[in-house]
Structure 1
């Protein structure tokens, strides 16, 4: 455990190269906004965890002991309600969603409003209420409650269903075995979320227990994680950990720049009883439009991935290959790098995928220059991205100066 503070043939090869080049050209039109909101959504997914009160009197525990308690937590069944508030400092998204959908369709996406890869980007801004349920690794369900409508994402065995009641559209994908189904954007168990927290804790991190709390009627310890490094946009992360089960109940991320939390996500109600089997049943409603996605087994067999060269950072070569990024730097100052292969900097107008995407990018942009040439930094309160005119994208939870430094060194 890391230290803690106190408490084939030439033709085939050419074909693969051309396929990768096509992917990059298509990605260049919308990779930046997807990266910005996608990383934020992934951060939201770290720990499902809001409403707390009280200061329960619990036995003393060290940071190391609490980390171990999270790691050993073996909760397989739960259900509850989660409230998520996200304030990335983004402008009004307006027509961004339609722009992203159009870009996804041009890049080979299914274009269904029920596709989770596009629907769940809504969590990147505002306040949302989710209903969640899990019964082991084979069955999970998340429902996003909207005004007069609901979006549900269900993983049941080898089936993954997405249903948008507003448009009456259904998205379905399958896997050859249930293990492969987990590769889809399906809800994860609390232990999965805790594992992500453990991976982020290393010698660049300060960890301590900072009192107790009561979340969704349950007694919890408050674990506070702070970067030791300067240059990161992350100020602190607070996680309320259920005292009995070791399950994370509340997650709050505050930025280094101060102000309100960037992400405040937590249970308002939770039960660790086994959900009924019918919770995970789904049959497409009559008249619904059903989009059949590629089977996960087929999709992953056909994706050889790009060749990634290992550079100093936090990700293993396997993780880099999976995510399609190279990583520069260490710890909280890690920066993901993508070479889009597209010259000319930010996409605008029709090249950006349609809708108001070009205007959205422009509202975030800040021109910069350096040894790397010229580019634009897209800024939020948490994730920043530098898009160079040479076609490279640098993304991380770091400030503008760190991105320019990385580009110059690259």
Structure 2
């Protein structure tokens, strides 16, 4: 089927002002949080191939966005394959340890955490290839299982209880489910529809939104919704969302960077059913002999540094937003110095600065000098005087923003 609409980003449906309609739609794109807890950034397999070219009634981009907004899928089960290629350097597993430390999971403050703690376990999804089994029965019952070569990690939300189980270590993590805005899954993408919500929330006058044909995903007919920044300077090239023609639920999300190459994120269902899952799907009892860690009884946090926390908090309070749309840059002052210089001899700070600096590009400008840390999607400039500029923009855009701030 040929592309349906060349550029419908400025066409409203039903007499409604387009941008307001899209923003209202974005708030309701995710009717069900597939998990009560999810990862900071999800990764999956190499790009999933669509199949077929079903003949579907023509729709405009506005109509398709509204269809997503009206989607009310409460029950589903299926398999999701995810691939993330951020272009991060291979740190030999160090990145997982760093992420665990940041999240407060195992490895943070002394290794007293549980291997089944989702705040640490799911950070493994930040890169590589993964297959997930998901199930949902309304807002209070969800299950996600991360399938590994010789083990399985499951996260189950059943009413007031959240259970994490790591079969490899035979450890169990239990906590009380949070509600409303406290739910991590409402803040972090975990499925194609979660990613789609965040993408649609960014739609404004700086964005082109079109319907570009049809596809089959997981055996279901779908429309292709294509989102592109109109501005130059963004690292986001094209976002494609496959929307189920019958239910309006996003079945696949693909983000390709402006630099080209493989997708940065490619998340899609390979199997999906909208039938009510069996109630036993969400049952969980800790296996015999398993070590159980209660979330409310975790070891005390590591000793705090009030001065460092205060400096950082003060810097974040002065957060500035530079630019608009897809070229938005967040800028703040850490209240300290930038990376320690690598020339600091045997000094530990100098060694750390040299190590981190080796993963970035040294840059200079009217602002002075600094280091740009790059991924294929998000880049950050840390200046020698402790200022940080970050966004889904190119290195040149960061340097330009830092120069303009002088």
Q: Please indicate the TM-score interval, normalised by the length of the shorter structure.
A: 0.7 to 0.9
Q: Structure 1 stretch 141-150 or stretch 281-290: which is displaced more?
A: 281-290
Distance 1:309 1:66, change over 3 A: same
Say which of 311, 328, 333 aligns to 2:327. Answer: 333
The residue aligned with 1:69 is 67
The residue aligned with 1:148 is 150
Distance 1:269 1:180 in 2: 30
Q: How does 1:124-139 map to 2 (within 5 A)?
A: 124-139=126-141
Q: How does 1:182-201 map to 2 (within 5 A)?
A: 182-183=183-184, 193-201=195-203
- Give structure 1 stretches of 5+ with no counterpart: 8-40, 300-304, 312-324
- Give structure 2 stretches of 5+ with no counterpart: 1-7, 13-38, 302-311
Deviation per CA, 1:205-228, whole angstroms, max 9, x where unpaired? 000000000000000001110000
Q: TM-score, normalised by structure 2?
A: 0.75
Give the structure with the higher percent helix.
Answer: 1
Q: How does 1:197-216 map to 2 (within 5 A)?
A: 197-216=199-218
* Contact 2:320 2:331 (8 Å CA) reproduced: yes
Distance 1:230 1:211, change over 3 A: same
Residue 57 of structure 1 pairs with residue 55 of structure 2: yes
Residue 381 of structure 1 pairs with residue 376 of structure 2: yes
Distance 1:340 1:115, change over 3 A: farther
CA RMSD of aligned residues (A): 3.7
Say which of 93, 96, 120 aligns to 1:95. Answer: 93
Distance 2:9 2:41 in 1: 22
Distance 2:379 2:193 in 1: 29
The residue aligned with 1:4 is 9
Distance 1:206 1:310, change over 3 A: farther
The residue aligned with 1:318 is none
Give the CA deviation at 1:275.
Answer: 1.2
* Contact 1:6 1:207 (8 Å CA) reproduced: no
Q: TM-score, normalised by structure 1?
A: 0.74
Distance 1:376 1:278, change over 3 A: same
Deviation per CA, 1:63-113, whole angstroms, max 9, x where unpaired? 010011011101011110011112222222313123443564557996433
Residue 114 of structure 1 pairs with residue 116 of structure 2: yes
More relative contact order in 1 or in 2 (CA 8 Å, sep 6+)? 1
Say which of 82, 85, 88 aligns to 1:84. Answer: 82
Distance 1:214 1:330, change over 3 A: same
Give the CA deviation at 1:267.
Answer: 0.5
Larger Rg: 2
Give the CA deviation at 1:162.
Answer: 2.2
Deviation per CA, 1:3-25, whole angstroms, max 9, x where unpaired? 81469xxxxxxxxxxxxxxxxxx
Distance 2:100 2:191 in 1: 28
Q: How does 1:162-173 map to 2 (within 5 A)?
A: 162-173=164-175
Aligned residues: 350
